[in-house]
Structure 1
Amino acid sequence: MSGARLGPTARGKRSGIRPFHSSWQAKLLAIVVAAYAVYALGQLEFSAERFVKGLDNGARFLARMFPPSYRNGDQIVTGFVESMQIAVLATFFGVMLSLPIAVLGARNLMPAWATWPARLIVTLCRAFNPVIVAIVFIKAVGFGALAGVLALIVASVGFVGKLFMEAIEEISMKQIEAVRATGAPFLSVVTYGVLPQVIGRLVGFCTYQLDANLRNSTMVGIVGAGGIGAALFAGFQRFEYDFVLAILITIIAVVLLGEFASNYVKRIFHV
């Protein structure tokens, strides 16, 4: 029987390949991770009784949320307008800062003395959750939307800067060399040699970051950085769970609309 007519299992036996085979190091690592998971479960005082009790408490909590109440609809509208403004401003300024940082951090364009500081900035921006950064800015500039914008700018630089940096490092150098051969300055090399190759991916990164900033604006608002998160936290504080559900439903609706808008923008730019 020819090898072309053998099934996958027979071909594997004939060639000596064992499907789903892993090394002893991988098996040892899996055992260590499983053992540590069991150990951590015991250290955190989890129990079946506590889990069952939590289900009962969660059911009663959800029952108090229905039906949703829009009696304070003006607070929802005001909060979402502010959240949208925070997200748009943070995305715009975050992308504007990310572009030069990404160019400086691209190892195929810049020497090592320039790439390491740029990469360090991106790493520091990605090191902390936006809520933690928002708390720092609240201490610096006070409560309100400004702290939220600054916190999400940092988050945007960490995300867009890293992905744009990687996109630049994957481009073809032939187009860059062609632009350099004309004697063009570095800015022209970036404009005509780099950006045309990555503009599609950059649009995709920006639309995703705008969507992420819209969601994150809710989180930073909970700690006092403006947006709909402040109204959400106030609803929890007042035990107005029906109002909380109305806010959550509105958040879901806005995120879905943002997803449709992002897909439309990607189709326009053929991303």
Structure 2
Amino acid sequence: MRLRTPFAPDWPMRIGLLLLALYALWASTQLGLSGERLLTGLGEGGRFLARMWPPNFTRWELLLEGMLESIQIALISTALGILLSLPLGLMAARNLAPWWLAAPTRAVIAVCRSLHYVIVAILFVKALGFGALAGVAALTVASMGFVAKLFAEAIEEISMKQVEAVRATGAPPASVLVYGVLPQVASRFVGFCIYQLDSNLRNSTLVGIVGAGGIGGTLFAAFKRFDYDFVAAILLSIIALIFAAELLSGRIRAALR
């Protein structure tokens, strides 16, 4: 009888990792990566940070206007995305919807998730013009793709016993959803919504760089003017906003438990 070697080496895995490492080394030479270039970049980065200090908050009115616009874009796009995600998630759940409805709905969700929100923002800027409307539209599409997918997957994991019990009473489809489906996924759906709002607060600062409104436009203009002390003030304000949103979302999650 042939004894098996304990902890036998996994040669296919080792060969695969070796090939991956060799490819990474080859790719670094093709991309022009080098230690000398990295050291030069670190020195330039230090001088750039020195020009950003101290932050300049004298134009706080312009800063506040951009921050408020970013918050408004995030709130509106999250609300619209959630409202549109509810029916999409229900229609995409394969344990509730027939295949002929779930399949095209999942295709729509996949399209919403296929492109980065900055690319979507560029498309909406070209279609709708510069301003907050393009940012709201772009982040609404991004919210639909994220929340609807997670909502559909959460519905597919529910217990169908409760759904069948409500159906056995002769309840209409709307009552089945309200009393059999939503109570099982409500807490998770609220968590998805809070996370998406937190994400949109960050993303709303970025879509402004491509002209979709918010503090991102102010930040990009400050970069173009080499106004680096004002850039530092904007970045610190964005960080403070994200920290405040994180604390608020943590309080809301704790209250819902």
Separation of aligned partners in 1, 2:24 and 2:84: 41
Q: Note the C-alpha offset of 1:56.
A: 0.9
Matched AA of 2:207: V
Aligned residues between the structures:
255
- Cα deviation per residue 1:166-225 (whole Å; 9 max; x = unaligned)? 111111111100111111122211111111011101111111100100100011000000
Instruction: Say which SS state the counterpart of residue 225 (structure 1) adopts.
Output: coil
The alignment status of 1:150 with 2:152, answered yes or no, reads: no
Match of residue 12 from structure 1: none
Q: Note the C-alpha offset of 1:241.
A: 0.5
- Cα deviation per residue 1:101-146 (whole Å; 9 max; x = unaligned)? 1111111111111111111111111111110000000010000000
Match of residue 166 from structure 2: 179
Instruction: Say which SS state the counterpart of residue 260 (structure 1) adopts.
Output: helix
Which sections of structure 2, spanning at least 5 residues, go unmatched? none
CA shift in 2, pair 1:200/1:22, >3 Å: farther
- Cα deviation per residue 1:3-39 (whole Å; 9 max; x = unaligned)? xxxxxxxxxxxx9763xx6744333332232122111
Matched AA of 1:186: P
Separation of aligned partners in 2, 1:171 and 1:256: 34
CA shift in 2, pair 1:17/1:111, >3 Å: farther
The TM-score with structure 1 as length reference comes to: 0.91
Alignment of 1:1-271 (within 5 A): 18=7, 23-270=10-257
CA shift in 2, pair 1:268/1:16, >3 Å: farther
Separation of aligned partners in 2, 1:49 and 1:229: 32
Separation of aligned partners in 2, 1:86 and 1:124: 22
- After alignment, is 32-41 or 165-174 more displaced? 32-41
Q: CA RMSD in A?
A: 1.6
Instruction: Say which SS state the counterpart of residue 219 (structure 1) adopts.
Output: helix
Which sections of structure 1, spanning at least 5 residues, go unmatched? 1-14
- Cα deviation per residue 1:221-262 (whole Å; 9 max; x = unaligned)? 000000000110011011011100001111111101100110
Instruction: Say which SS state the counterpart of residue 194 (structure 2) adopts.
Output: helix
Separation of aligned partners in 2, 1:226 and 1:22: 56
Matched AA of 1:237: K
